[in-house]
Amino acid sequence: MSRSPTPLPRHKDLWWAYRLRWKRRDYLWRAFRARRSLTRLAYRTAEIAPGDILCVATLRNEAIRLPGFLDHYRALGVSHFLMVVNDSDDGSAEMLADQPDVSVWTTRASYRDSRFGLDWSNWLLARYGRDHWCLTVDADELLIYPHWQDRGLPVLTAHLDRIGQPAMGALMLDLYPKGSMDQAETDDPLAGLDWFDPGPYRTQIQHPKWNRWVQGGPRDRMFFADRPEKAPTLNKLPLVRWQRHYAYSNSTHAILPRDLNTVYDGPGDPRLSGVLLHTKFMPGAAARAAEEKRRGQHFSEAASYDAYYDALSLAPDLWHPGSVRLTGWQQLVDLGLMSDGGWSAGSSQGGESN
């Protein structure tokens, strides 16, 4: 069951509910205005059919990751991709424009000023995602969930509809190699990324949005041990049956209306959940860290993360004696990092097995 937030006095909770309604409207208004900064490069949205599962992503210079990204989500059952390519110079936009199931927009507008791409994503979700199951992910995130190799997203979302769960949460699980990150680049997003931290992970519930705040993992351990409050947030709500009044408020870590944030409590939650395999530390991560520091587009207080970027640019070894080699989804269920929610292995509940 969901952990309920510590109740506020009724008058304060009503006041926050009122303010959050206006905040959600502000996010949607920002998204509507942000559409003007997007230029269509490949526009195939007329091909979206009722019931199609959509994938929304904003990216910059991800040409090496995109083949594996598209292959993974096509195999899961995504029917159409809605992609914003921001200020890229590596051919990402042209590569995507050649794909028959991808609609592409480009922009040179500030990623930071767009609320780190959320204004663009919220616009695409509001314009095209209504009544669709929508998967909103970064190019370095690969969603897996219990039985994912046998039951694609159409089966999963049919089951979620059947049990009345309007979204599915996931832990962003940092994967890393054993040894330096500075290895030969490859277009396989999981090449050499065999290891992860099984814990500890800590969860807080935040007012007034009731969003969860999960932290831990190798970045917390290596780079933020002296300031854990700055460690990356690892909980996400990437898969949502979208409605036009929804809006992501902080990456996919939090969403409005706030009731949606209660569908996932992080590691240990017994309800059906997944894991986003985070491939940030694939070869080339050190060079990317130096470029991200130079651009200063990824954090609201960019200068306070300079030490983090400097450490990453040295291609450190994130492995330690507590690291665990990834073997599959059942291992992650056994470790409590995701849950099958009673979705038994012997039943396809809600659709035909792939």
Q: How far from the centroid of its chain's Cα atoms is residue 52's Cα?
A: 19
What is the chain's mean pLDDT, rounded? Answer: 90
Residue 204: partners with Cβ closer than 8 Å, 6 or more residues away: 212, 213
Tell me what percent of the residues of the chain surpass a pLDDT of 70.
86
Quick one: pLDDT band at residue 193, thresholds 50, 70, 90?
A: very high
H or E element in which residue 119 lies: helix 118-128
Q: Is residue 116 part of a domain?
A: yes
The mean pLDDT value for 310-316 works out to 80
Q: Is residue 344 part of a domain?
A: no
The rounded distance, in Å, linking the Cα atoms of 67 and 45 is 21
Q: Quick check: 6 pLDDT over 80?
A: no
Q: Is residue 340 part of a domain?
A: no
Q: How far from the centroid of its chain's Cα atoms is residue 311's Cα?
A: 24
Range of the domain at 127: 10-334
The rounded distance, in Å, linking the Cα atoms of 61 and 85 is 8
Q: Is residue 307 part of a domain?
A: yes
Q: Is 105 exposed, middle or buried (0-12, 13-18, 19+ CB in 10 A)?
A: buried
The rounded distance, in Å, linking the Cα atoms of 154 and 77 is 6
Q: Is residue 348 part of a domain?
A: no
Q: Is residue 345 part of a domain?
A: no
Q: Is residue 347 part of a domain?
A: no
The mean pLDDT value for 196-222 works out to 95
Any bridge partners for residue 170, and if so which? 236, 274
Q: Is residue 254 part of a domain?
A: yes
Number of domains in the chain: 1
